Chain A
Amino acid sequence: MTRLGEREIRADSIIYFPRGLVGLEDKREFSLLPIREGDSPFLLLQCTTDPGLGLLVADPYSFLDDYDVKIENPERKVLKVENIRQLAVLVTVTIPQDKPEDTTLNLQGPIVINTEAKIGLQVPQTEAGYPTHFHPIGA
């Protein structure tokens, strides 16, 4: 079971977060599920050990072309980065209750995934000065 109802999660789709997520340090295994069929930039980062726990995330590059995520050496090490092309970037999404038109992307805490090694890490951006709430819809 997931927050989107019954979904089959393949074992090889599980992404391991050695540090969990900020505030959810004890949750280590997640899987990315599409919200709808087709070409939606929104995904659910579903915890595979806790069915009720799933975060809405989005591909930031569907909304902004020049979002530049800085990954320092300690983080590269955790992610076991060998090649920058292994990395995918997601951001969490905030939707105020009953106001989907006020959806914002949280650009300060991107979630970086090594898609080959299946390792994930949330990488707080300290210096970049990105807004915590970026309005992609109706902007």
Chain B
Amino acid sequence: MTAVSPPSRRASAFFFRKPKLRLGILLSAPLLWLGLAYLGALAALFITAFWSTDVFTGKVVTDWSFDNFVTLFTDSVYRTITLRTVGIALLVTVIDAVIAFPMAFAMAKLASPKAQRILVIAVMTPLWASYLVKAYAWRTLLSGNGAISWLLSPFGLSGPGYGVAATVITLSYLWLPYMILPIYAGLERLPDSLVDASGDLGARSFRTFRSVILPLAFPAIVAGSIFTFSLSLGDYIAVKIVGGTSQMLGNVVYDNIGAANNLPFAATVAIVPVVIMLVYLAVVRRTGALNNL
């Protein structure tokens, strides 16, 4: 081969011999974007949390202090809201796990391959039907003359109305597909032979569930819980739509950016879910859940 190769070919050969350079080029743009735009913004948020707002001009004052954190931890209003938010997020996660597991199990282990695909699409479709539309649907369902009261009235019961219970119901509804899909994916990967073996060794259904299926499906459940928990922690819109007068952390952040014009305090409050989520991610990392996302 003596012919001179075209430039594109020479370029190809050059990059082929330099895998590190190829990797560097591939990583550069995503890392610049996420590293600068996202991590940079998160770092800036953390710094802003130590600043304050001038009472008269409304401008951010760049004097360092722990005042915002002191307010957050000592004011009983914020303590109550933090505990309520974490409580709601935990409750929503547990409710979703309990509802999603049998559904995912039936999808992964009982349905035929063709039915499986249809069922997955059926779970994903409402996932993309606008968040607001679904929250709004619950507002009409839960209203005084809505479908829930209509369903319950023959039993002499009334609906929960707007409040914490309505918030939990709405959030559980909104995030349910985020729990079903990872559990389904996890169970689908779980070999039937293990379940059969457990049965052959004399285990009854419950024992097989507890000793074989649950431990193997656990990372998938945790993967789902990352979404249900995180999305609930930061929500403020569902609360505004069906929550009545109760508030969550997200509302405090939102009100401090908008009406109160106190960005530093909003930043301080926003750090709470970040810290909770980072601790949560660090803990669940060992279960291998992050590979199930």
Is chain B a partner of chain A in the same complex? no
Residues of A at under 8 Å CB distance from B?
none
B residues with a Cβ closer than 8 A to A are none
